[in-house]
Amino acid sequence: MILARNIKDRALFEGFNKVGIVGAQSLADEGRRLKEWLARGYHGEMGWMERDVEKRISPQEIFPQARSVVVVALNYFTPQQHQQNPTTGKVSRYAWGDDYHDVVKEKLTSLLSWIREREPSAEGKVCVDIQPTMDKAWAVRAGLGWLGKHSNVITPEHGSWVFIGELLLNLELDHDTERVEDHCGTCTLCIDACPTAAITEPYVVDSNRCISYVTIELRAPELPSEIDLSGWLYGCDICQDVCPWNRFEETTSETRFAPREGNVNAELDEILELTPETYAVRFRGSAMKRAKLSGLQRNARALTCVHHDT
């Protein structure tokens, strides 16, 4: 019989930095807050967040046999730093290397195969970001970290530069019950540093005001004029860069997260000159494809205008 301990050891062997296992219960409290967040319109134009709400709350809605949730965190920190250069746009750290969806999915799929070799009755579903689950809520429940006031999960060992994924399993396993205490205390550095006041209250982000949302998810042909991009072309790391829990980060051992050429600060001229063909080659296997060519060029135009106006 396969034990929770065996699965956790194997998850670490696959390269994950943290793992916890919890029961596949509905996320009642987190679900209520998700509904409040949606009712306030904080999801902006991410209609898919609203459509899948019941699936996000209850794991059985996406995998009826779910009994346990194996939750993993994978460190993506590399030591490079952004430069302030008006001819380039800053790219958020999570998108510097190979697309994390592929990397995390590959590791979780390999974990599932390993489990099935030992327990042929095992069935599972791999989730990372794009499946309708609440990754952060599961990470907190599984004791991987706490939800920081910037609303990202902070692990005490690796800070918040971690991706989160889950493996839903039909197996009854021993579950972790200890959570990590909230260590934000009286700190408000992330809230104070956010240039668009997107953290409307501790732990709550209004996507409409968030640079990450407008540069990646918003499909409008022009960016809202009231949002100051602060030099960001794709995503935004400000609230995590200022967090004291990210000061002692260790470099990831996942080599696929090493920054690709020109991806920490991207040349705006190069982005503006891309054609659909050169774009497909330049960003193959990169998380930056989420903004699509039109979105990237819209963002680059917005940054170029600021540069010319000043």
Q: Give catalytic residues, as residue numbers.
A: 129
The per-residue DSSP string of 128-181 comes to: -SSSSS-HHHHHHHTTS-EE-TTSSEEBTTTBT-EEEEEEEESS------PPPP
CB atoms within 10 A of CB 195: 16
- Which x/- pattern over 246-285 shows residues binding ligand B12 (rule: CB under 6 A)? ----------------------------------------
Using an 8 Å Cβ cutoff, are 187 and 50 in contact?
no
Applying CB under 6 A, among 66, 74, 128, 199 the residue interacting with ligand SF4 is 199
Q: In angstroms, give the least distance from the CB of 254 to ligand SF4.
A: 23
Give the C-alpha separation, 29 to 234, whole Å: 32
Told to check if 245 binds ligand SF4 by CB under 6 A, we report yes
Sign of CA dihedral 98, 100, 105, 108: positive
Binding ligand B12 (rule: CB under 6 A), the pick from 217, 223, 233, 303 is 217
The residues pairing with 163 across neighbouring beta strands, listed in sequence order, are 74
Please report whether residue 72 would count as binding ligand SF4 according to CB under 6 A. no
Q: Which stretch binds ligand SF4 (CB under 6 A): 53-61, 104-112, 124-132, 146-154?
A: 146-154
| Cα angle 200-206-211, degrees, rounded to a multiple of 5 | 110
Give the whole-angstrom CA distance, residue 182 versus residue 197: 22
Residue with smaller CB distance to ligand SF4, 212 or 286: 212
**Contacts to ligand SF4 by CB under 6 A:** 148-150, 184, 187-190, 194, 196, 198-199, 205, 210-212, 236, 238-239, 242-245
**Contacts to ligand B12 by CB under 6 A:** 30, 33-34, 37, 46, 49, 92, 94, 128-129, 133-137, 147, 150-153, 160, 162-164, 203-205, 207, 210, 212-213, 217, 235-237, 239
